[in-house]
């Protein structure tokens, strides 16, 4: 199996103001800068990206955005384009379940965002995951495979892609998927990539996300197809987030 560098990515969502965001990233840098063998990414709100990036500059902590527009410029009120983010972020989360649910983002739109990001040299962290009703009906694997394939329509920059399997029922609930469930579904994601780009499947990083914390991260990371975590709540506490980084660094 190809060796893949693990990723710990923090999605701050609509939390932190300018000052607390700068303080948070400085604490994360202080606690985690020296940890090797893991890619560390924080994704602050758009308004803080520039300042957080400045505070992280020269460190091993990278900065990402929580979203990106598929459009290059023009009459798209409230949107942020790849050219505005270029040079500030290394990664962009696309297709987070909150945006799919609250903003009605479709997999077709998510694919367009992933393509736009990759074309700008920004690695997409592409999120997919089933809700509880789909899981209870026994359709999680089919749903996730279909959603990922649709969200990768037309995508071709396999070196830059990161996939994040995030079951909606595990996000922010404190009820993480078991490591077996997460393994089964991250393997499904990898097989979708294999179908679309056979040569890339063993090198694309596939993350698990959903109530990851310092108590469950080690067990999740033992799974062969889990290459790290996309983290919400626990990414807002520097000490907790740094424990996740340390666990992944020793994977």
Residues that bind ligand PEP (CB under 6 A): 11, 166, 171-172, 209-212, 230-234
- Is 91 part of the annotated catalytic residue set? no
Catalytic position from the list 98, 130, 166, 240: 166
| C-beta of 237 vs 251, nearer to ligand PEP | 237
Closest CB 96 distance from ligand PEP, rounded Å: 6
Please say which residue, 61 or 201, places its beta carbon nearer to ligand PEP: 61
Q: Where are the alpha helices (DSSP H) in the chain?
A: 18-32, 46-56, 82-85, 97-102, 107-119, 132-136, 140-151, 179-196, 217-221, 238-249
- Please, which residues have CB within 8 angstroms of residue 52's CB and are 6 or more apart in sequence? 21, 22, 25, 42, 44, 63
Cβ–Cβ under 8 Å, residues 211 and 238: no
Choice among 91, 96, 98, 240 that is catalytic: 96
Active site residue 166: yes
CB of 250 to ligand PEP, least distance (A): 21
Q: Which residues, 6+ apart, have CB-to-CB distance to 203 below 8 Å?
A: 2, 4, 158, 159
Q: Give the nearest distance from C-beta 208 to ligand PEP in angstroms.
A: 9
For ligand PEP, the closer of residues 220 and 234 by Cβ is: 234
Judged by beta carbon, residue 134 or residue 212, the one nearer ligand PEP is 212
List active site positions.
96, 166
């Amino acid at each position: 199996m190809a060796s893949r560098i693990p990723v710990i990515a923090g999605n701050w969502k609509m939390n932190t103001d300018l000052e607390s965001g700068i303080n948070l990233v400085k604490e994360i840098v202080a606690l985690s800068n020296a940890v090797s063998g893991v890619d560390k990414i924080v994704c602050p709100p758009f308004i803080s990206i520039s300042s957080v990036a400045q505070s992280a500059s020269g460190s091993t902590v990278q900065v990402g955005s929580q979203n990106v527009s598929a459009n290059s410029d023009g009459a798209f009120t409230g949107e942020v384009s790849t050219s505005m983010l270029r040079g500030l972020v290394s990664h962009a989360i696309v297709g987070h379940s909150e945006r799919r649910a609250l903003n009605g983002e479709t997999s077709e739109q998510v694919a367009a965002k992933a393509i736009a990001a990759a074309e700008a040299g920004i690695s997409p962290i592409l999120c997919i995951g089933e809700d509880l009703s789909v899981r209870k009906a026994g359709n999680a694997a089919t749903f996730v495979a279909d959603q990922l394939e649709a969200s990768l329509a037309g995508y071709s920059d396999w070196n830059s892609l990161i996939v994040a399997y995030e079951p909606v029922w595990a996000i922010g609930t404190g009820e993480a998927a078991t490591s077996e469930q997460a393994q089964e579904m991250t393997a499904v994601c990898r097989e979708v990539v294999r179908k679309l780009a056979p040569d890339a499947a063993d090198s694309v990083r596939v993350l698990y996300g959903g109530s990851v914390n310092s108590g469950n991260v080690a067990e999740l990371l033992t799974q062969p197809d889990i290459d790290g975590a996309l983290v919400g709540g626990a990414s807002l506490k520097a000490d907790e987030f740094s424990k996740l980084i340390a666990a992944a660094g020793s994977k």
